[in-house]
Amino acid sequence: MARIAIIGGGASGLTASIYASKNHKVTIFERNNVCGKKITITGNGKCNYWNEDQELKHYHSHTPEALKSFFDTSIQKEVETFFNNLGIFPKIKNGYYYPYSMQATSIRNALVKKALSNNVKILYDFLVEEIEKENDIFIINPKKEHLVFDKVVLACGSMAAKKTGSDGIGYELAKSFGHKIVKPEPTLVQLVSNTTFLKDWHGVRCESVVSLHIEDKLFCQEKGEIQLTDYGVSGICIFNISRYVKENLHAKKKILLHINFLPEFQNSSSKELANWLDKRAENLKGYSLEEMLEGILPYKLLFVVLKEAHRKKEEHWLSLKEEEKINLIQKIKDFTIPIIDTLDFEHAQACSGGVSLQEIDMNTMESKQIKNLYILGELLDVDGDCGGYNLGFAWMSGIKCGKNL
């Protein structure tokens, strides 16, 4: 029976502890006074913990080829079995899994209860500052508590959501063993602009197609609800493209966000949309631009669009010249703003970057450099889309590690 130390009582750490404790003596070191603090705030407290669509395209890494060996149908089925055995009954919405209670605490409590019933020891308010390896043993905080273990699992989380205790100390522990860290950047995070009208559209939510352009070339595109804010833009589709922003800004590349506020006309030309608006104006004779468009665009957004198109709200659509119509249409279906930054790690749901996957055996999660050292979850250079993918990777990496242990 080996002595196993798991540094971090989050999603991946608790999962690994449940599997490993079937055969070994496991101790979790948790810096907070509770485990799973980040779990309880996911999905606005509802916890979207899994997604039935587990295609590789939903996961990202700077070494994506290393991820290919990680995914297989057996590990995906294992996750669903694991939660069934924990007593979690899923509520499934369009492939998104939530606990039926719609409370994230149900997930956290089930994990902790199972770990404790397996005789996992949890040390709360315990900060692991240093780990040394001497011959075949690891020493936790050698200058203080000097606790000895046979194997160590780093499951400390990333730098996202610092209020939950994720301050990046896991990167330092991994670096102390010679591991390479791909620079962490905030992802699944809001985008920041510096345009002058942001306060005018603040608070608007609308369905849109957003396209990220880097150096004037289309890089990626997402469709969904966006939130217009006094600093820029937010929303799930914004989060999904945010991972590409920081590294390109560091490279001093120009980044523009193109927004189509009429996604139903995504595949229509400006001329086709102009014809549609001509017919609408014929049916609404005497309506001003404000009156004709307020049934299409949210009121605050309408005034920003008109202002940016240099149109007065009292004007009439049919009185505009063709080029004036096209210019206004471009502001509706191809509204462009510069992106100058993202919000910081405190606002991010995840991080891109982390311990390089080239240094990890992705079938066991063991370090290729240090025998009996394992690295899991957010600490690795893996980040997923919104929709339960980051937690999904945590469960899967925790299961693979725990089984191997």
The pLDDT > 70 percentage for the chain reads: 100
What is the tens place of the pLDDT at every residue in 310-344?
999 999 999 999 999 999 999 999 999 999 999 99
pLDDT at 227: 98
**Domain 3-187+350-404 -> CATH class:** alpha beta
d(CA 126, CA 32): 7
What is the SS3 assignment for 83? helix
pLDDT at 43: 84
pLDDT at 285 over 80: yes
Residue of 267, 34, 263, 15 lying closest to 155 (CA atoms): 15
Lowest mean pLDDT segment, chosen from 174-183, 199-208, 263-272: 263-272
Interacting residues of 295 by C-beta distance below 8 A, sequence separation 6+ = none
pLDDT at 73: 86
pLDDT at 347 over 90: yes
pLDDT at 69: 85
pLDDT at 165 over 80: no
pLDDT at 163 over 80: no
List strand residue ranges (DSSP E) for 40-199, in order: 50-51, 59-60, 90-93, 96-99, 121-123, 131-134, 137-140, 147-149, 151-154, 181-187, 191-192
Taking the domains of the chain in order of start, what are their residue ranges? 3-187+350-404, 190-342
Q: What average pLDDT does range 154-179 have in this prediction?
A: 89
What is the tens place of the pLDDT at every residue in 167-176?
889 999 999 9
